[in-house]
Chains A and B, each alone.
Chain A
Amino acid sequence: MRPLKIELNEISVNYGKIHALKNLNLTINEGDYIGIVGPNGGGKSTMMKSILGLIKPSKGKITYCGTSLKKSDIRMGYVPQISDINRMFPITVEEVVLSGRMSKEIRPFFKYSEEDKKAVEEVLDTVGLKKLKNRQINELSGGEFQKMIIARALTLKPDILLLDEPTAMVDVMSQRQIFSLIKKLSKDITIVLITHHVQMISKNVKKLIYLDRNIIAEGDPNQVYQYAYLRPVHQSIKKRVVGGAHV
């Protein structure tokens, strides 16, 4: 694992008058496996896209091993939300995963090498999709589609893998397979994972962060889970009982 340090210093992101993130501080080191949880609209995806350089923060700075994203040689793999991608696009599984091997330059008459194809075979084997490499992506299930997107990110040989709700719109069996795959990958790659399936990942992640525009709680997964989820649930139940409503 290559040395890695991504630092978010006092990051704020605004969409018009809405503050998606406010003065956020976070450090990601090599070997981390961080779970990010929190309410919808709490800024989880915005934070991830800021790290990836897709969104420019309104305030604050992000450094990658002490330098800017442009100057750094950090390789970042990204698994976006399934809804961000056109699942009906006419392309095969192999072609999608191969696109992870493209160079950053726009090259005329670009052709993938045999080495690229071999690397893709290996990655498809890792995620369990080798048999489906010639399938059109519109024939894949939700779980298979997400594994393909993970495979594409892995072909970059990333130092860090950022996953945004990789188990959304996926059945329970596939959810388990994907979380188990991510756990396996976390041995070699730094991972930041956004999810709503807190219970499924709380045993795996090294650190859990509850994000709602800023970090509300972070640290030991069980403690964060107790603090962020069980406490408000108990409180709301208590309120509803006191109010005389059915629980």
Chain B
Amino acid sequence: MFKALLEYEFLQNAFLAAMITSIVGGIVGVIIVEKKLVMMTGGIAHTSYGGVGLGYLLGFEPIIGAFMFSIMAALGIGVIKNKSTGSKDIIIAMFWSLGMALGILFIGLTPGYPPMVSSYLFGNILSVTRFDLILMSILAVIILTLIFVFYQDWKAHLFDQQFTQIMRKKTNVLEYVLLILLALTVVVLIRVVGIILVIALLSVPASASSYLTGKLHLRMVYSMIFSFVFILSGLVVSYYTDISTGAVIVFAAVILYLLTWLYSRRLLYKENLKGE
């Protein structure tokens, strides 16, 4: 496979996509897990399917449609959550199902043979194009810049939003920027892991890393490494078989999560023995 990697452009694209996805997913995943935004991310990801459908219907790149719908979903959920007294879960569920419904509707209205949407739903790292890669790189640079430039503000905000509000910081700005970051991350991940499995790649590596370290920046590093290992395993299996990348990534992620959980239990058990 290593020889093929040097030879074929689609494999080089896939490898670069794996790197970008694991860096972005690893870092943003920790934020999502700590801020308890997993379901929100799921809602944004599924709403983006409406954009994929619109792309096919109107004849533009489906990923651009996903990008537009993700941003609209993130801001829409944020605004409605802030202005209404309704449950956050219900608002997310509405966007979630409405996005999927719109996607099905738009694809149904598309003339000719129905398009192959499975790579958007379940991910196919081997089908990542140069255009996808350029878009992913631009979004990754925006996401990482926003996180690292304002790292201390994010840390305080993620730990205790109420406190930053009392300090008269513009918490609304931080909140909406965070939602936009989630939307951008979803777009970066869609081609690799698919709309349906995005939340797995964002939450599992971050949760697994929480068993290994108590430091925020180290959690991000571990989460990136785990993501890369998962995506690479998906890439290898997809290359040799015809199994969906997303499915392999999720299997690998869940297995490693269980292993880190068992490892943390073992450490705890040893500490308890020492204490006795």
Chain B 34-62 near chain A by CB (<8 Å), digits 1 or 0: 10000000000000000000000000000
Question: Which residues on B sit within 8 Å (CB–CB) of A198?
Answer: none
Given the known interface contacts A90-B216, A136-B215, the answer about A152 and B163 at a Cβ–Cβ threshold of 8 Å is yes
Q: Is B251 an interface residue (CB 8 A)?
A: no
Given the known interface contacts A85-B160, A91-B216, A95-B155, the answer about A104 and B168 at a Cβ–Cβ threshold of 8 Å is yes
Q: Is the CB of A156 within 8 A of B167?
A: yes
One of A108-116, A189-197, A216-224 at the interface: A108-116
Q: Is B85 an interface residue (CB 8 A)?
A: yes
The residue on A at minimum CB distance from B219 is A90
Residues from 58 to 97 in B contacting A, C-beta threshold 8 Å = 85
Q: How far is the CB of A163 from the nearest CB of chain B, in Å?
A: 13
Enumerate 11 A-B pairs (CB-CB under 8 Å) in ascending A order: A80-B160, A84-B160, A91-B159, A99-B155, A102-B169, A104-B168, A106-B170, A106-B173, A108-B150, A110-B150, A152-B163
Question: Which residues on A sit within 8 Å (CB–CB) of B151?
Answer: 110
Q: How far is the CB of B272 from the nearest CB of chain A, in Å?
A: 15
Interface size bracket, B side: 20 to 34
Cβ contact of B159, chosen from A78, A96, A104, A156, cutoff 8 A: A96
Q: Is A119 an interface residue (CB 8 A)?
A: no
Question: Which residues on A sit within 8 Å (CB–CB) of B170?
Answer: 106
Residues from 82 to 100 in A contacting B, C-beta threshold 8 Å = 84-86, 88-91, 95-96, 99-100
Cβ contact of A54, chosen from B34, B158, B166, cutoff 8 A: B166
Interface size bracket, A side: 20 to 34
Cβ contact of B34, chosen from A78, A90, A96, A105, cutoff 8 A: A90
Q: Is A53 an interface residue (CB 8 A)?
A: yes
Q: Is A16 an interface residue (CB 8 A)?
A: yes
Q: Is B162 an interface residue (CB 8 A)?
A: yes
Q: Is A107 an interface residue (CB 8 A)?
A: yes
Question: Which residues on A sit within 8 Å (CB–CB) of B16?
Answer: none
Q: Is the CB of A89 within 8 A of B34?
A: yes
A108 to B214, CA, bound (A): 25
Q: How far is the CB of B18 from the nearest CB of chain A, in Å?
A: 26
Q: Is the CB of B166 within 8 A of A99?
A: no
Q: Is the CB of B152 within 8 A of A110?
A: yes
Q: How far is the CB of B196 from the nearest CB of chain A, in Å?
A: 28
Q: Is B225 an interface residue (CB 8 A)?
A: no
Q: Is A215 an interface residue (CB 8 A)?
A: no
Q: How far is the CB of B27 from the nearest CB of chain A, in Å?
A: 13
Residues from 58 to 84 in A contacting B, C-beta threshold 8 Å = 76, 78, 80, 84
Q: Is the CB of B219 within 8 A of A108?
A: no
Q: How far is the CB of A160 from the nearest CB of chain B, in Å?
A: 12
Q: Is B244 an interface residue (CB 8 A)?
A: no
Q: Is the CB of B149 within 8 A of A90?
A: no
The residue on A at minimum CB distance from B170 is A106
Q: Is B255 an interface residue (CB 8 A)?
A: no
Q: How far is the CB of B23 from the nearest CB of chain A, in Å?
A: 19
Question: Which residues on B sit within 8 Å (CB–CB) of A76?
Answer: 166
Chain A 190-220 near chain B by CB (<8 Å), digits 1 or 0: 0000000000000000000000000000000
A49 to B165, CA, bound (A): 11
A132 to B64, CA, bound (A): 50
A100 to B155, CA, bound (A): 12
Closest 3 CB pairs of A and B: A136-B214, A99-B156, A90-B216
Cβ contact of B166, chosen from A16, A53, A95, A112, cutoff 8 A: A53
Cβ contact of B158, chosen from A89, A109, A152, cutoff 8 A: A89
A89 to B34, CA, bound (A): 7
The residue on A at minimum CB distance from B177 is A106
Q: Is the CB of A104 within 8 A of B152?
A: no
Q: Is the CB of A106 within 8 A of B163?
A: no
Question: Which residues on A sit within 8 Å (CB–CB) of B158?
Answer: 89
Chain B 126-150 near chain A by CB (<8 Å), digits 1 or 0: 0000000000000000000000011
Cβ contact of B153, chosen from A16, A88, A110, cutoff 8 A: A110
Given the known interface contacts A90-B34, A136-B214, the answer about A111 and B166 at a Cβ–Cβ threshold of 8 Å is no
